[in-house]
């Protein structure tokens, strides 16, 4: 098999199983003291990052062998010369700093891009037992612990996923917005942006979980005036859009993917409901 269909439940559930297995692997190291390396771009990386990406890539290659795969760790030595119209975009451990510091808001991200648009996403927060995924243009959430035996039993897992709850963004609340932001990235630009809004509360969260909180109606807006990479955002961007949200660049244009000339670096953006 080589074609991937984001409306095919079997295809989506297979990607979910890979995210779950990578999350299960990460939790083994979460409870240990592990060595932290520093990459050339001064970001941390652990064995959980590298093993998680290997789990996902090997799985995708076994089912969708003709589709390009770009991951955070396999891009460490450079991006491919050509980025195809359709490709998978992976972050096997988004929120490595949170992971290292034994915080629970880190995620496994598997996104699928078609002509610059993120049309499919799987996000798993293993320390929170929360799995989010898109299927046929809709967004879903279910709870699965990383040590649940169903992860390795296809029929049981598919039954669980087929009963996942559909999620949608909420209407804009009259009493003010719930803003979600990273603990370490509330920049002066973000603070200035928020002064123009009616803000009820600012919720701190790490990784792609910020998008997920918008998708589930737990928050309303996520302004990001700071650096992110495409693999940080693709999967959860797809989830938010499937739940009725949007992600715009600061200039109002839609955030797109496969930006080879930028090195897959994202411009500043606003994710909202």
Binding residues, as ranges, are 72, 91, 93-96, 232
Binding residues for Mg(2+), as ranges, are 72, 91, 93-94, 232
How many residues are present in the chain?
A: 273
pLDDT (0 to 100) of residue 184? 60
Judged by phi (left if over 0) then psi (alpha if -120 to 50, else beta), residue 261 lies in alpha
pLDDT (0 to 100) of residue 59? 98
pLDDT (0 to 100) of residue 39? 78
Q: pLDDT (tens digit, 9 = 90+) per residue, 109-158? A: 999 999 999 999 999 999 999 999 999 999 999 999 999 999 999 999 99
pLDDT (0 to 100) of residue 40? 72
Task: Give the architecture (CATH level 2) of 177-272.
Answer: 3-Layer(aba) Sandwich (3.40)
**Could you state, in order of their start, the residue ranges of all structural domains in the chain?**
9-166, 177-272
The reported pTM is 0.96
- For the chain, how far is it from start to end, CA to CA, in angstroms? 36
Q: List the CATH code of the domain at 9-166.
A: 3.30.540.10
pLDDT (0 to 100) of residue 43? 83
Q: Which ranges of the chain have pLDDT less than 70?
A: 1, 183-185
As a three-state string, the secondary structure of 10-70 is HHHHHHHHHHHHHHHHHHHHHCCCCCCEECCCCCEECHHHHHHHHHHHHHHHHHCCCCEEE
CA torsion angle 203 135 21 123 (round to 10): -20
Q: Which residues have C-beta within 8 Å of that of residue 27, sequence separation ≥ 6?
A: 126, 127, 146, 147
Q: How far is CA 119 from CA 60, 113, 156, in A?
A: 17, 6, 26
Mapping DSSP to helix (H, G, I), strand (E, B) and coil, where does residue 263 land? coil
Domains 9-166 and 177-272 share a fold: no
138-143 and 165-166 strand pairing: antiparallel
pLDDT (0 to 100) of residue 185? 63
Q: Is there a contact between 180 and 212 (Cβ–Cβ < 8 Å)?
A: no
Binding residues for substrate, as ranges, are 72, 93-96, 232
Phi, psi of 199 (to 5 degrees): -105, 125
């Amino acid at each position: 098999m080589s074609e991937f269909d984001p409306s095919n439940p079997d295809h989506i559930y297979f990607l979910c199983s890979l995210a779950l297995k990578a999350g299960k692997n990460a939790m083994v190291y979460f409870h240990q003291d592990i060595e932290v390396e520093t990459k050339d771009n001064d970001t941390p990386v652990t064995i959980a990052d590298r093993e998680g990406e290997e789990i996902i890539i090997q799985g995708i290659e076994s089912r969708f062998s003709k589709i390009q795969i770009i991951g955070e760790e396999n891009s460490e030595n450079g991006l491919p010369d050509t980025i195809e119209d359709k490709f998978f975009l992976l972050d096997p451990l988004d929120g490595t700093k949170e992971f290292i510091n034994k915080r629970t808001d880190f995620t496994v991200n598997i996104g699928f891009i078609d002509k610059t648009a993120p049309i499919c996403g799987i996000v798993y927060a293993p320390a929170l037992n929360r799995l989010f995924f898109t299927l046929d243009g809709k967004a879903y959430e279910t709870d699965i612990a990383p040590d649940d035996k169903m992860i390795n039993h296809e029929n049981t897992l598919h039954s669980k996923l087929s009963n996942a709850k559909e999620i949608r963004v909420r209407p804009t609340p009259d009493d003010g917005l719930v803003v979600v932001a990273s603990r370490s990235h509330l920049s002066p630009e973000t603070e200035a942006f928020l002064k123009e809004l009616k803000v009820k509360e600012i919720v701190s969260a790490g990784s792609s979980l910020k998008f997920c909180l918008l998708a589930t109606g737990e928050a309303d807006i996520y302004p990001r005036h700071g650096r992110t990479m495409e693999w940080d955002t693709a999967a959860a961007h797809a989830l938010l859009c499937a739940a009725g949200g949007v992600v715009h660049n600061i200039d109002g244009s839609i955030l797109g993917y496969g930006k080879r000339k930028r090195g897959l670096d994202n411009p500043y953006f606003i994710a909202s409901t």
